[in-house]
Amino acid sequence: MSTTSESPQRNTRQRRAVAAIMADLEGFASAQQIHDILKQRGESVGLSTVYRNLQALADADLLDALRNDDGETLYRRCSSGHHHHLVCRVCGRTVEVEGPTVERWADAVAEDHGFRDVEHTLEIFGTCGDCAS
Amino acid sequence: MSTTSESPQRNTRQRRAVAAIMADLEGFASAQQIHDILKQRGESVGLSTVYRNLQALADADLLDALRNDDGETLYRRCSSGHHHHLVCRVCGRTVEVEGPTVERWADAVAEDHGFRDVEHTLEIFGTCGDCAS
DNA sequence: GACGGATTTGACAATCGTTCCCGGCAGTAG
DNA sequence: CTACTGCCGGGAACGATTGTCAAATCCGTC
Ligand SMILES: [Zn+2]
Ligand SMILES: [Zn+2]
Ligand SMILES: [Zn+2]
Ligand SMILES: [Zn+2]
C-alpha cells in the first residue's frame, strides 16, 4: 500500500505559477490557454511543464478535467466531491451542479442491466445569459 | 435554410460497405477498427473514406458518436431520438437508455442559471454481467 | 450504351493536441 | 555547501483526424 500522499513533491516556481493561475480562473481552460496566460504575465513556463502540472493537479483531485468537442482537455479548479458542470460554450463560465436524482437514476439503470463498477459522465452546455445578449 | 435532405448522395460501393458493417456491429467502434474490419472482409476502403462516411452517417443521425477516454471517436448504429448509453468498458456491449427525468432536470438546471440553447452529454460506463464473471 | 459534369475516392501530406526524451537546472535533506 | 534526485524545457515523436487533388466512379441524359 502506498500512503495516500506518496509525494516527494518539490515546490518549484513553475508549479506555483500554474496553481496560482488555476486558483483565479473562473471557467474551464486548456493547457495551451494557461500556457499563454503565463507567458503574458511574464511567468513563462514550458508547455510540457504546464501539461505535466495540470495532470498532476487533476490526479490529485484539485482540478476537474473535461474534453470539449474539439478533443481538447480543459481544466478548472473545482470543489471536491462528485458533481457535474453547466458550461457556457461561448465564454466558458461554469456552474457546478449536483443532482442526487440523476446519480440514483444512473446507478439504478446500470444495475437493472446487470452492470457493475458503474460510473458516469454528465455535462450540460449552453449559452449563458450574458453571452446570449 | 437548407431542406432537411440536401443530399445528392451517390450509392457507392464504399458507402454501402461501411453502412453494412455498422448495421451488423453491436458495440461502439472507432473509424480505424471499422477500416480494419473492411480490410479483413476484402472490401477494402480508404481510411479517409471511412472517416468521411462515418461522419456523414452520424450527421444524418443514422449513427451515434461518442469520444472515449483516449480521445478516439466511436460510432454505433442507434435508434433515432434522444437517448444515452450504458456501455460495458470491457466488451463494449451497449444498451440504449432513456431518462425523461434526467432530460427535464438538465433543462431546468440550465434555465435556472439563465442558459439558452442547452444540450447535454451523459454516458454510463460499467462492467456487464458477462464480463464480471 | 456512350457522354459529360459532379461527386467521391484514396494515397499522402498536413494539423494539432498531447506525450516522450534527455541534457541541464534547481529544490532539499544532511 | 554538496550531493542526490526530481523537475524543467524544447524539440522530436505520436496518433487521431482532416485537407489536398488527380483519378475513378456515378448517374441523368442523349
Ligand atoms: Zn457566457
Ligand atoms: Zn453524477
Ligand atoms: Zn461486457
Ligand atoms: Zn439526454
pLDDT per residue over B96-109, tens digit each? 999 999 999 999 99
Burial of A86 (0-12, 13-18, 19+ CB in 10 A): buried
Residue B5, pLDDT score: 47
Is it the case that residue A73 has pLDDT exceeding 80? yes
Which of the nucleotides in strand C have any atom less than 7 Å away from a protein CB atom? 6-12, 17-21, 26-28
C-alpha cell at A46: 514550458
Is it the case that residue B6 has pLDDT exceeding 60? no
8 Å CB contact of B120 and A118: no
Nearest to A105 among B101, B129, B132 (CB): B101
Identical topology for domains B1-78 and B81-133? no
Q: Which CATH superfamily is domain A81-133 in?
A: Ferric-uptake regulator, C-terminal dimerisarion domain (3.30.1490.190)
Determine the protein residue whose CA lies at the shortest distance from the C1' of C29.
A8
Q: What is the CATH number of domain B1-78?
A: 1.10.10.10
Domain locations along chain A = 1-78, 81-133
Distance CA B91, CA B76 (A): 14
pLDDT per residue over A81-124, tens digit each? 999 999 998 888 999 999 999 999 999 999 999 999 999 999 99
Is it the case that residue A15 has pLDDT exceeding 80? yes
- Cell 470543489, residue located: A79
Spatial distance from the CA of B1 to the C1' of C12 (Å): 36
The model's confidence at residue A59, banded by pLDDT at 50, 70 and 90, is very high
pLDDT per residue over B26-79, tens digit each? 999 999 999 999 999 999 999 999 999 999 999 999 999 999 989 999 999 999
Residue A7, pLDDT score: 56
Q: What is the pTM of this model?
A: 0.88
With H, G, I as helix, E, B as strand and everything else as coil, classify residue B131.
helix
